[in-house]
């Protein structure tokens, strides 16, 4: 079958999205056991920026599926001595079967690398979107609640690439509600907002964004935050912490949502975006979420190379 690329969650059909998430949840629950479906293939794991969970997840996942891996650091490639990104991608495609790349930059670079039919390209985080994190988050919700449809999620913090993937993923499940509370000037971009609103309308979901912490929704199923300093970025305003301070996740958010779980894409900075008693408290499933990145990565790698997907019950289709 033809290889497939994952640059954005927009690249996935609804069926593909559901299948990848269901298969990741199947791996997570133990209902599915990884087979050596990628035997004889080589995966390149390229991290131009720092990476703990994503790099480990895809490396471990590829090995569990029988692939061999080559790991590249940001300073390893000849791009640093003047080779064009386009030529680097052409070389990769003649030697690798899959490239998992964290660039934290313009996704156009990844699109260029994906403009061939030899090597699958997976976006492990670009400036605008973190699609594999979005798949991890959906896998975690399915694993914990047994469903995604109808869930209500409160996201608090910067409208970064993690929030973008959440908006493009959760809105494709019927009856879901995503409430984003972001500091003024640090919300989601207009293009992303337009895309997410269109998806929500198409799938009978709701998405809303405000820039304050008043009148928060009650009885949400999950409270989500991410670090205030997104990997590979900095903020021009030296007083940005003042703007972010009201958006810290504290135990007070559970006063009207007693059963909500806490999600965080990690790394966390206790005392900044979240208090330690929430991160390490009874609501938190953040480290289950981190582990699920490996299970989700295996589902993505299989989808890209061999087309194995899962039906709604978690089995192979």
Q: Helices marked H in the chain — which ranges?
A: 14-29, 53-64, 85-93, 107-113, 131-145, 161-170, 190-202, 240-244, 276-279, 286-305
pLDDT at 75: 85
pLDDT at 316: 33
Gap between the Cα atoms of 116 and 113, Å rounded: 7
pLDDT at 232: 63
Please state, in angstroms and as integers, the Cα–Cα distance from residue 309 to each residue in 37, 106, 295, following that order.
Answer: 12, 29, 13
State mean pLDDT over 234-255.
94
Beta pairing, strands 222-225 & 42-47: unpaired
pLDDT at 310: 52
Over residues 77-93, the pLDDT tens digits come to: 888 889 999 999 999 99
pLDDT at 230: 76
DSSP run (H or E) holding 178: strand 177-181
At residue 4, does pLDDT exceed 60?
Answer: yes
State mean pLDDT over 248-253.
98
pLDDT at 64: 98
Indicate the average pLDDT of the chain.
Answer: 94
Over residues 91-150, the pLDDT tens digits come to: 999 999 999 999 989 999 999 999 999 999 999 999 999 999 999 999 999 999 999 999
Question: What domains sit in the chain, N to C, each tagged with a CATH number?
Answer: 9-130+294-305 (3.40.50.1370), 133-289 (3.40.50.1370)
């Amino acid at each position: 079958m033809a290889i497939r690329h994952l640059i954005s969650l927009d690249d996935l059909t609804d069926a593909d999205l559901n299948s990848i998430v269901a298969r990741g949840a199947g791996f997570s629950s133990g209902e599915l056991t990884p087979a050596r479906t990628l035997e004889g293939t080589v995966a390149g794991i390229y991290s131009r920026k720092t990476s703990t969970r994503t790099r480990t997840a895809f490396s471990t996942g590829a090995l569990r599926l029988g692939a061999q891996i080559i790991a590249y650091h940001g300073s390893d490639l000849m791009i640093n001595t003047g080779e064009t990104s386009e030529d680097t991608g052409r070389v990769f495609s003649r030697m690798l079967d899959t490239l998992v790349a964290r660039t934290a930059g313009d996704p156009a670079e990844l699109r260029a690398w994906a403009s061939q039919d030899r090597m699958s390209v997976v976006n492990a985080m670009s400036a605008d979107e973190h699609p594999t994190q979005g798949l991890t988050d959906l896998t975690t919700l399915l694993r914990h609640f047994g469903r995604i449809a109808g869930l209500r999620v409160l996201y608090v913090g910067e409208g970064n690439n993690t929030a973008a993937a959440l908006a493009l993923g959760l809105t494709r499940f019927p009856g879901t509600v995503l409430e984003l509370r972001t500091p003024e000037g640090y919300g989601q971009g207009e293009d992303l907002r337009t895309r997410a609103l269109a998806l929500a309308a198409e799938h009978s979901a709701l998405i809303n964004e405000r820039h304050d912490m008043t009148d928060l929704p009650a009885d949400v199923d999950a409270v989500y935050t991410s670090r205030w300093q997104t990997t590979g970025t900095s903020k021009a305003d030296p007083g940005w912490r003042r703007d972010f301070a009201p958006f810290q996740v504290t135990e007070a958010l559970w006063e009207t949502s007693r059963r909500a779980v806490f999600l965080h894409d990690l790394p966390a900075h206790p005392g900044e975006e979240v208090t330690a008693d929430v991160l390490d408290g009874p609501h938190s499933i953040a480290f289950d979420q981190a582990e699920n990145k490996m299970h989700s990565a295996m589902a993505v790698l299989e989808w890209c190379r061999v087309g194995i997907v899962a039906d709604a019950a978690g089995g192979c289709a």
